[in-house]
Amino acid sequence: MLAGDRRYLAGAVIGASLVLLLTGRAFSQARLVPPNSDSFGTAVGVSGERVAVGAPSEGSGAGAAYVYVYDASSGWTLEARLIGDQHEAFGRSVALDGRHLLVGAPGGGSMAGGAAYLFRRDSTGWAQAFKLEAPSPGQGDAFGSAVALRGVHLMVGAPNRTAGAADAGAVYVFENSMPGQWNFRQELTTLDGGSLFGSAIALESEFAIIGAPRADEPRGQAAGKALVYLRTSGSDWVLRAELVASDASAESGFGTAVSIDRHSLTGLHAALVGAPRGGLSRGGAVYLFMEPGGLWTERARYEPAIRRAGDQVGQAVVLDEDNFLVGVPGRDSSAGAAISLAIDTTVYAWHETAWQRAPQPQSDAGFGYSLHLSDRFAVIGAPGEGLTDSTSGTAYVYTRSEALARELLPLEHRMALSSYPNPFRDAVTITVHQAVGAPLVVDIFDAAGRRVAALTAAGIEGEIVWLPPERMPAGTYGVRVRGSATRETLWITRVR
């Protein structure tokens, strides 16, 4: 440990309570529950055979971070427990990449401006390598609220930083320029006061995406944005795109969660952005952007067919190649849920491949508040789930090779929807693909959920043209298509 450092490693396998649950659906689920924790599961990360879990409220706000390691014979065991200082909120964010673990502590550091701690694993265990702070810390900056780590680059968000305007936010870039040295490289800022830039960060080898969930947008105050940066040959990061929702609305929280990766099926870079207070019902929505020809454009938008205000769809999101996982922690009285999605890139239509409700259906468990994916595992946090009290928290680890618990429709009963043009002015063509099933029932409804049109489909699939009357106002409309065994919803926007 570093001189004067008050963190410690709690040895290998110390008193963790680990329960392996097997369901009748033939998938494995590990439930990670440390003793005497608080808010465990607020942040999660996974890399290889290891999972990191943050518990920022543990120890009366000092915070802690836990590392678990998987072994085929013994399952998941606790490898290390790292703790924070008083009121530091250590564990508010975590990022795990190979032998390195980055932990955010937004209440720590000089002037209580926040700090981030980089740990390295060697043959003896985990040890702190660096303590990182902003070059000129300010009280209440919340440096460490979000962290991202990829190879020799890391980023730390300070969303409350006054950078030209109050709470505009900033992100600090550090680089491992030589072995054993992490040096400050660059400060990324925005001029939008109150935008909370740096609340969420995701890092890929070439691109980074940063959430500013309270940035103003012409169509809505504090609607939110996500900013995409490209790493240049000189290792500086330059702004490439500002992403906004096609149906932006005030206070939607667009940019609360972000993820970025190269989509394996198309070869394009893709970004997934959550807006947990957006959507028609204010239950949240998720947006997919792709970068054909260097231009980032929105390709698809997702809301569950059945949704309620407060569901918080998109509070957490992760994109890994062609796999999408979305947290819905407000679902079912905040017991929570997580949704696994696939995208049909021929028509850019979403399919729900699995829906995992909270394994312990307890109110305010918040299952899905945090989540992450690796090649083998998915980890989902439930920071409010209680065993001996109401706030202890839990994290669940699933093997990705096996299905999540949901009765899925057979492939032949699924359908795909697309529309062109969208946005549209006078007419829009809705295309439905469905292999088998009953004739389609198509309803159009407005943002308030009122049905405004019923369309007739000639058979089980094909093209349907909607010609709305001239008096129908501009805005977002839902197209709900029902077949014999399923229904899908597509969102279209009329402009004037």
User: Domain containing 472 — which CATH number?
Assistant: 2.60.40.1930
- Please identify, among 408, 437, 471, the residue that sits at the C-terminal boundary of a domain: 408
Note whether residue 7 is domain-resident: no
284 and 393 inside one domain: yes
162 domain-assigned: yes
Same-domain status, 306 and 397:
yes
Residue 333, H or E segment: helix 331-334
pLDDT in tens, 419-454: 778 788 899 888 776 645 556 788 888 866 778 998
Full 3-state SS string of 392-419: CEEEEEEECCCCCCCCCCCHHHCEEEEE
Please report the pLDDT score of residue 93 as a whole number: 98
473 secondary structure, DSSP code: P
Q: What CATH number is associated with residue 85? A: 2.130.10.130
Are residues 426 and 401 part of one domain? Answer: no
| Residue 175 belongs to a domain | yes
Residue 59: which H helix or E strand, with range? helix 58-61
- Residue 371 and residue 293 share a domain: yes
Contacts of 202 by beta carbon, 8 Å cutoff, 6+ apart:
148, 208, 209, 258, 259, 260, 271
Of 367, 388, 408, the last residue of a domain is 408
Would you state the pLDDT for residue 467?
A: 92
Of the three residues 376, 408, 440, the one that is the final residue of a domain is 408
Whether residue 105 is contained in a domain is answered as: yes
The number of beta carbons lying within 10 Å of the beta carbon of residue 128 is 18
Co-location of 339 and 465 in the same domain: no
Q: Are residues 361 and 259 in the same domain?
A: yes
Q: Which helix (H) or strand (E) holds 332?
A: helix 331-334
Same domain, 170 and 246: yes
Please indicate, yes or no, whether residues 62 and 145 belong to a single structural domain of this protein: yes
What Rg do the C-alpha atoms of the chain give, in angstroms? 23
**Residue 401 sits in the same domain as residue 422:** no
Which domain, by its residues, includes 86?
A: 17-408
**Residue-wise pLDDT tens for the chain (496 aa)?**
333 343 434 333 322 222 222 222 334 579 999 888 899 999 999 999 999 999 999 999 999 999 999 998 888 999 999 998 889 999 999 999 999 999 999 999 999 999 999 999 999 999 999 999 999 999 999 999 999 999 999 999 999 999 888 899 999 999 998 877 899 999 999 878 899 999 999 999 899 999 999 999 888 899 999 999 999 987 899 999 999 999 999 999 999 999 999 987 788 899 999 999 998 889 999 999 999 888 999 999 999 887 889 999 999 999 998 889 999 999 999 999 999 998 888 888 888 888 888 888 888 999 999 999 988 899 999 999 985 554 589 999 998 654 443 333 343 445 667 777 878 889 988 877 664 555 678 888 886 677 899 886 655 456 788 999 988 898 888 888 876 556 677 778 888 7
Query: Do 217 and 327 share a domain, yes or no?
Result: yes
Q: Quick one: which of 380, 373, 374 has its CA closest to 394?
A: 380
Does residue 11 lie within any of the structural domains?
no
**269 within 8 A of 207, measured Cβ to Cβ:** yes
Res 58: pLDDT = 94
Residue 404 lies in a domain: yes
Determine the Cα–Cα distance for residues 55 and 37; give it in Å rounded to an integer.
7
Neighbours of 235 (CB within 10 A): 13
**CB-neighbour burial class of residue 177 (10 A; exposed 0-12, middle 13-18, buried 19+):** exposed
Q: Please give the span between the terminal C-alpha atoms of the chain, in angstroms, as a whole number.
A: 63
DSSP type of residue 334: H
Residues 399 and 434 in one domain: no
* In a domain? residue 188: yes
Residues 360 and 469 in one domain: no
| Structural domain total, the chain | 2
Flag whether 1 is in a domain: no
